[in-house]
Amino acid sequence: MSGFLSRWLALAVAAGVMVWLLPGMQPVGEPALWGVVAFALFMALLDASLKPVIKMVSLPLTILTFGIFSLILNWLFMRLASWLAVSVFGVGVYIDGFWWSVLGSIIMAIVSGVVSSIID
């Protein structure tokens, strides 16, 4: 359980940095912090449950496309987390398009890696 909470914290910090840096990511709801935290919660839940299985099943397609399909999967998971956060809690992060989610994925990977290494 503490592993999930530390992952959620790392993703919340990373999502906050992502929303702050990228104009294509807008927080939804008042205050904006709740949108970022709700988005990070669903990203952590998806990362813990669905993402490992989907990545394993889609590995051949990812290899055939030289990793491009991995970008599409990250985009889909970010959109799904955004949609779930807005539909369940009424707050979240709105993503303007595919390329903003690609940049957001890169930022979230770097920042959450740094935060996770500091926490652990």
pLDDT tens digits, 86-109: 999 889 999 988 899 889 988 988
pTM exceeding 0.85? yes
Question: pLDDT digit string (tens) for 3-12?
Answer: 889 999 999 9
**What number is the average pLDDT over the span 75-87?**
91
Residue 10 · residue 119 · CB < 8 Å: yes
Contacts of 23 (CB under 8 A, 6+ apart): none
Residue 60 banded pLDDT, cuts 50, 70, 90: very high
Q: Which residue type is seen at 120?
A: D
Apex 20 CA angle, 112 and 106, nearest 5: 40
| Predicted pLDDT at 1 | 65
Amino acid of residue 86:
V
pLDDT single digits (tens) 16-45: 999 999 999 999 988 889 999 999 999 999
Task: Say which residue, 120 or 103, is predicted with more confidence.
Answer: 103
